[in-house]
Amino acid sequence: MKVLVAGGAGFIGSHLVDRLIGLGHGVAVIDNLSSGRKENLNKGAVFYNMDICDAGVEEVFDRERPDIVFHLAAQIDVRQSVMDPIADAGTNILGSLNLLQNAKKTGVTKFIFTSTGGAIYGDADLIPTPETYREFPLSPYGIAKLSIEKYLYCYCKVFGLNYTILRLANVYGPRQNSKGEAGVVAIFCDKMLAGKQPAINGSGGQTRDFVYVDDVIEAQIAAMRPEITGIFNIGTGIETDINQIFRQIKQVSGSKCEEIHTAANSGEQQRSCLDASKAGLELGWTPEKPLAAGIEATVNWFKNRPNGDIKSEKKRFWIFLAGLALFWAAATVLGENGAAIRNKMSDWRLVPEAERFTELYFDNYESLPRRIDGGGALAFSFAIRNLEGAVTDYPYAVYVERQDGRRDIVSGGAIRLADRENKTVSVLNKIEDGAAANKIVVRLTNLNQEISFLLADNK
């Protein structure tokens, strides 16, 4: 059988591709490598390096003529979806529709969509949460996933496209991206094995349903059967809090780090756990890997992973800087002839080490700029997180941008972050006279980093 996997170089997708090829299927992969890694790719797969939004997707479908499509490609950062919902929808809705249209056109017999359990249900009152629970996603990411679920229902009823939706719990395991916001197991493994100090957001009492990646792949394989249709939760039905995850990884890794807590992320979901009994009854699927065994396997992979750790990335950066320094020195020795070289170099924008490990973002929906008091006043908050770098002072400026593009600075200051990793500081802002504002812009002046929010008719 011919199978197309969108997102097949990513964490879950690459494991799926391995399993499909092991079963003897022909596999083609579409991935833009934004979060996936080329080294994850199975050499037996045909690889197309492209975005799911690209017009070239049509050519891939025409050439490959897949029987089944697995759709795992996505913009996966929930915070990023809040900061830029239009870009999130561009990938997660319009890109998905690009796949659906081409699947319909080329006669695909089954479309299997990877959705989300936690972001779909939000903070549910019923734990574990079944598929019949009401869906009220609180992020553009969750809204986009739910939108595609509804589109799939439409394509099934109107065009006859058979589909299965898998709402995944918190998946963990080998190949998970430790730089993402959702992979707490990977983040802790990466930090502890590198001798660094991870931090737990808030009390650590928030719970998640952790399911091992190999178990998820077996659910994906079971979903290929033509008679399997509809929506299925894929999880263990077991709540585990973040403190317990921290302690288990610390024990397995032998880390000597402390259990340090930082401020809670505003609006963070407190409980998430899925009822997967429907998958057991209809898919014949149950999770096999206990959490302790899964964590041990994940820690061992991080110990022995190819292209090791962030140290090699830092090393490459400093080698690059050293090369630039030598180049600048050579230009200086050349005197007047070197002046032209130095002037040209001054036009280049070097990304400082600090910028590579700094995140500037609006916390959540409640923190987005909004008009208050029924007048021109505006209120919002933003946050800065120092993931790695040594820089601890962040001067910032807040601007009001008008319809004509002109910016007026309305506030500013400097934020000091403690010299501790994963330290986050939130800043509350109120602008008394924002009646003429079209957009709010927050800028880190030393890093040339900024975020913005278009107010439009936001009241």
- Which of 48, 121, 141, 396 does the annotation list as catalytic? 141
Which residues, other chains included, contact 145 with Cβ-Cβ below 8 Å and sequence gap of 6+?
74, 92, 115, 116, 119, 120, 137
- Residue 317 scores a pLDDT above 80: no
pLDDT digits (tens, 9 = 90+) for 105-134: 999 999 999 999 988 988 889 999 999 999
- Residue 156 scores a pLDDT above 80: yes
pLDDT digits (tens, 9 = 90+) for 231-284: 999 999 999 999 999 999 999 999 999 898 888 776 677 899 999 999 999 999
* CATH number listed for the domain at residues 355-454: 2.60.40.150
For residues 4 and 110, give the distance between their C-alpha atoms in angstroms, rounded to a whole number.
11
Q: What b/e readout covers 23-55, taking b as 16+ CB neighbours within 10 angstroms?
A: eebbbbbbbbeebbbeebbbeebebbebbbbbe
DSSP for residue 38: G
For residues 38 and 141, give the distance between their C-alpha atoms in angstroms, rounded to a whole number.
25
Cβ proximity of 51 and 95 under 8 Å: yes
Instruction: Looking at the structure, give the CATH architecture of the domain made up of residues 2-304.
Output: 3-Layer(aba) Sandwich (3.40)
Verify whether residue 141 is a known catalytic residue.
yes
pLDDT digits (tens, 9 = 90+) for 15-52: 999 999 999 999 999 999 888 888 999 999 999 999 99
Q: What b/e readout covers 186-199, taking b as 16+ CB neighbours within 10 angstroms?
A: bbbbbbbbbeebbb
Name the residue with tokens 């008394």: 432
Cβ proximity of 273 and 206 under 8 Å: no
Closest C-alpha to 213, from 10, 416, 58: 10
Task: Give the per-residue pLDDT at 325.
Answer: 62
For residue 183, the one-letter residue type is: G
Closest C-alpha to 114, from 171, 154, 165: 165
